[in-house]
Amino acid sequence: MPEPLRLVFMGSDAIAIPVLDWLAGDGGSVARLVAVVTGPDRPSGRGQAVRPNSVKAWAAGRPLAVLQPERLDSAVLSELTALRPDVALVAAFGHILRDEFIAVARLGTLNLHASLLPRYRGASPIQAAISSGDGETGMTLMRIVRELDAGPLGGAERIAVSPLDTAREVEARLAAAAVPLVARSLPSLGRGELEFRAQDGALASYCRRLEKSDGVLDFSAPAHVLSARINALSPWPSVSVLVRDTPVKVGLADSVAGASGAVPGAVVGSDEQGLLVSTGSGVLRMRRLQRPGGRMLDAPEFLRGFPIGAGTVLPSRPMPALVSDSPPRR
């Protein structure tokens, strides 16, 4: 039986935890995790206490090196080189790797990207897929090159996306999907049998880093477009609508076919599942709502404490595009 591959992991997000769990367990005979490179501890939460990220917290107390550089400099490169990795695996790292870092592992540096490349290259592929109304997405394994998410593809694991899936739920399923993808790819890589195919750049689309200002709705858009945007941006940065000068967060939505006869943005009533709002085409049903300082509630419970009557008009705001045909500016 061949020796396990010496593997360095680079990443800072919880989406990597299932793969790390596999490496620490059943995957130990395939690859030995020798180090993680992750972001520094930072203030987070309401009290802004300094806390480790999900990957650092996972690595705590385990017999492996943990590097938390602010930037990838020559000292970090020396530490990685000294570890003699066979392969480096990257997921949601947040750093652009220079050529010398890409080349540090003997068999290459691979990236787990949360879309079916070349679709949705960039920083928010999960939100891009949901907001675009895609019925499926997936986790892709690729070789890292200097161009954004443009490296050759070594495989993918697909998952279904339903109209009521939020970004949180899709991310959890993609995190789980990364495990079989990595489990079948690393042994082939070690034997020199993992085939990589070039991406078709003509099919590429791009998504940028999200901002709080993205969480707005233009009610002249079709209801299915608005519900997809709401679910894509839940839980962050989240969509809010203004009701009597109070920002109300919308955590889940779907659409109802048929014309309401009301102006876009007008509340036309409610049903047992949500608040009904007229749009440019169809009716938007807001299924989960939250007011400042409160909890996210199912709409019927929310409306008992915060009534929103028929005829209330919710103001529209222009919606920044989440997907583009050209790379985001750096």
CB 293 within 8 A of CB 305: no
49 pLDDT more than 90: no
Helix (H, G, I), strand (E, B) or coil at 216: coil
Domains with residue ranges and CATH for the chain? 5-206 (3.40.50.170), 212-305 (3.10.25.10)
Looking only at the bridges linking them, the beta strands covering 267-270 and 65-67 are unpaired
Give CA–CA dist 277/285, Å, rounded.
Answer: 6
Q: Residue 47 — pLDDT band, cuts 50, 70, 90?
A: confident
Residues whose CB falls within 8 Å of the CB of residue 34, separated by 6 or more in sequence, listed in order? 6, 7, 8, 64, 65, 83, 85
1 pLDDT more than 70: no
Half-sphere exposure of 185 (CA within 13 A, CB side): 27
Which pLDDT value is given to residue 224? 97
Helix (H, G, I), strand (E, B) or coil at 16: helix
* Prediction pTM value: 0.95
Q: Residue 89 — pLDDT band, cuts 50, 70, 90?
A: very high
User: How many angstroms separate the Cα of 166 from the Cα of each of 14, 25, 230, 243, 324?
Assistant: 16, 30, 8, 23, 21
| For range 118-145, the mean pLDDT | 97
pLDDT tens string 140-198: 999 999 999 999 999 999 999 999 999 999 999 999 999 999 999 999 999 999 999 99
Q: Per the structure block, which two tokens stand in for 79?
A: 């530490």
Half-sphere exposure of 16 (CA within 13 A, CB side): 27
Which pLDDT value is given to residue 2? 81
Which pLDDT value is given to residue 330? 61
* HEC-encoded secondary structure of 17-48: HHHHHHHHCHHHHCEEEEEEECCCCEEECCCC
Q: Length of the chain in residues, anyone?
A: 330
Give CA–CA dist 40/29, Å, rounded.
Answer: 30
Closest Cα to residue 277, out of 240, 236, 318, 308?
A: 308
| CA 300 from centroid of its chain's CA atoms | 29
295 pLDDT more than 90: yes
For residues 182 and 48, which has the higher predicted lDDT (pLDDT)?
Answer: 182
Which pLDDT value is given to residue 74? 95
Per cent of the chain over pLDDT 70 is 99
52 pLDDT more than 70: yes
CB 104 within 8 A of CB 121: no
Q: Per the structure block, which two tokens stand in for 303?
A: 């409306």
